[in-house]
Amino acid sequence: MNLETHIKNHSAKVGVVGLGYVGLPVCIAFGEAGLSVTGIDLNAQIVKSLNQGKSHIGDVSNERLQKLVDVERFNSTLDYACISDLDVLIICVPTPLNKVKDPDVSFIISVTDGMLPYMHQDLLVVLESTTYPGTTRELVLETLEKSGEKIGESFFLCYSPERIDPGNTSYSLKNTPKVVGGVTETCTHLGSLLYSLISDKVVPVSSPEAAEMVKLLENTFRSINIGLANETAIMCEKLGVDVWEVTDAASTKPFGFMKFTPGPGLGGHCIPIDPQYLAWKMRSLDYRAKFIDLAQEINTHMPHHVVELISEGLNQQGHAVKGSKILLCGVAYKKDIDDIRESPALDIMKLLEEDGADVGFYDPNVEEIRWNGGTIKGIESIDKETIPSFRVVVILADHSDVDYSLIKKHAELIVDTRNVYSDADHIIRLGVGKKK
């Protein structure tokens, strides 16, 4: 019985390396499709908790995980040796930027090196980690071929970009089309067959490079358009116009316009980072990605702009940032999630503290954040007694379960970066200038 037959009859054993925001949902999807799934992670505490049916990812409930653990369709381990018994291995490890904004593919390299002793015939390997075009062929393939197995004959390799959007209840792995690009036609066929088990639509492309570029185009598109929305907000402030009114009106056009809204900056693992992978690759080919660089400049300035709005508001009330107690409301990088990766709130907190402010935070989804080598805890709740103890409340992530009317009633000054409020004397809104 060969690999294709195993996939078709749901008897394929699937392994997933990296059990974070991408890897764990992938495990659950294949487990719920009836396949046996083994998760691999280097974090012993995560492995232990998952085997006890306890999820650390907001999009995966303990109930869904426990069901798969109970029927022995999911288990997790620290040991790469399990690859010897797998039919499929999906790599979902982080791909951050290093200190000089160059791609850090060390996690991918670590995985391929670690799995090399356990390579065997009829193994399908899929890389899902976001990376620059060429990674699958230049890094993963070159390493795995050292095993002596032959690509397209005794083992198979694809790239399939992850498209998971944390907190999005409308789109899941099932109803989000899955792009697959294999090193050979057989690789693409097997990869497409695999993902058809968990996705309603699979989109095969001609190569792993094309699939890698798909992911970078998607998030570069978003980064550039968010950059345009952010610059429009600054322009509207100078013009005495309301950017939210302008954006809503423009979005009534049924063609040629897609709505993007401004905010305090970019967050999450994808949009701030993925375009930089493409920009880095193009620099290696002696080409400057001008749109990417400009969007990066605008988006990374937004935390500074928010601090400027806070400072202006305090000045109008006869106060300075230095010595002021400031509450950041919502430190996750977007609405209704607990993810603070690359959150602009962290940059705003740093800038305010550098200016001498006493900064605290409230987020119903985030209890504490790592800060300056330690951790700081958020306040547990906000009420009519705690709100007035802060000179400014800054709305950064507009979580649904926050009492904004209470904040409006008791706050001395509000800086709103998410269009939570309409105009009021004590509210400064991002993208809204004084009317002339």
Which pLDDT belongs to residue 434? Answer: 79
* Residue-averaged pLDDT of the chain: 94
DSSP conformation letters of 163-210: ---TT-SS--TTTS-EEEEESSHHHHHHHHHHHTTT-S-EEEES-HHH
Residue of 203, 108, 111, 119 whose CA lies nearest to 161 = 203
pLDDT digits (tens, 9 = 90+) for 70-114: 999 999 999 999 999 999 999 999 998 887 778 899 999 999 999
- 82 catalytic? Reply is no
pLDDT of 343 over the 60 cut: yes
pLDDT digits (tens, 9 = 90+) for 161-195: 999 888 888 899 999 999 999 999 999 999 999 99
Strand order in the sheet with 202-205: 74-77, 36-40, 13-17, 88-91, 123-127, 155-159, 178-182, 202-205
Length of the chain: 436
The structure tokens listed for 109 are: 């390299």
pLDDT digits (tens, 9 = 90+) for 359-378: 999 999 999 998 777 788 89
Bridge-based pairing of strands 325-329 and 392-395 is parallel
Which pLDDT belongs to residue 167? Answer: 81
| CATH top-level class of 232-429 | alpha beta
Distance between CA 88 and CA 207 in Å, rounded? 19
DSSP conformation letters of 15-61: EEE--STTHHHHHHHHHHTT-EEEEE-S-HHHHHHHHTT---STTS-
Which pLDDT belongs to residue 19? Answer: 97
From 27, 82, 270, 329, active-site residue:
270
Residue of 124, 163, 212 whose CA lies nearest to 25 = 163
Question: Which pTM was predicted?
Answer: 0.92
> How sure is the predictor about 206, in pLDDT bands with cuts at 50, 70 and 90?
very high
Residue of 7, 39, 33, 72 whose CA lies nearest to 174 = 33
Q: Is 410:289 a contact under the CB 8 Å cutoff?
A: no
Which pLDDT belongs to residue 97? Answer: 83
pLDDT cut 90: percent of the chain above it: 87
pLDDT of 152 over the 80 cut: yes
Three-class DSSP category at 13: strand
pLDDT cut 70: percent of the chain above it: 99
Q: Report helix, strand and coil shares of the chain as percent, to nearest 5.
A: 40, 15, 45
pLDDT digits (tens, 9 = 90+) for 238-270: 999 999 999 999 999 999 999 999 999 998 878
Which pLDDT belongs to residue 305? Answer: 97
Q: Is 152:187 a contact under the CB 8 Å cutoff?
A: yes
Residue of 123, 129, 178 whose CA lies nearest to 153 = 123
Whether the domain at 3-205 and the domain at 232-429 fall into the same CATH topology = yes
Residue of 141, 150, 144, 112 whose CA lies nearest to 208 = 141
Which pLDDT belongs to residue 299? Answer: 95
pLDDT of 229 over the 80 cut: yes
Mean pLDDT of the 258-286 span: 91
Residue of 154, 131, 396 whose CA lies nearest to 265 = 396
pLDDT digits (tens, 9 = 90+) for 391-418: 999 999 999 999 999 999 999 999 999 9
Residue of 340, 336, 220 whose CA lies nearest to 271 = 220
The structure tokens listed for 378 are: 């958020």
Which pLDDT belongs to residue 159? Answer: 98
Homologous superfamily of 3-205 in CATH?
NAD(P)-binding Rossmann-like Domain (3.40.50.720)
Mean pLDDT of the 46-64 span: 95
Three-class DSSP category at 155: strand
The domain spans of the chain are: 3-205, 232-429
Which pLDDT belongs to residue 132? Answer: 94
Which pLDDT belongs to residue 436? Answer: 62
Which pLDDT belongs to residue 272? Answer: 85
Which helix (H) or strand (E) segment holds residue 231: the answer is helix 208-239
Alpha-carbon dihedral angle through residues 343, 348, 354, 358, given to the nearest 10 degrees? -110
The strand pairing partners of 204, in sequence order, are 180
> How sure is the predictor about 347, in pLDDT bands with cuts at 50, 70 and 90?
very high
Burial 198-209 (b: 16+ CB within 10 A, else e): bbeebebbebbb
Mean pLDDT of the 136-145 span: 96
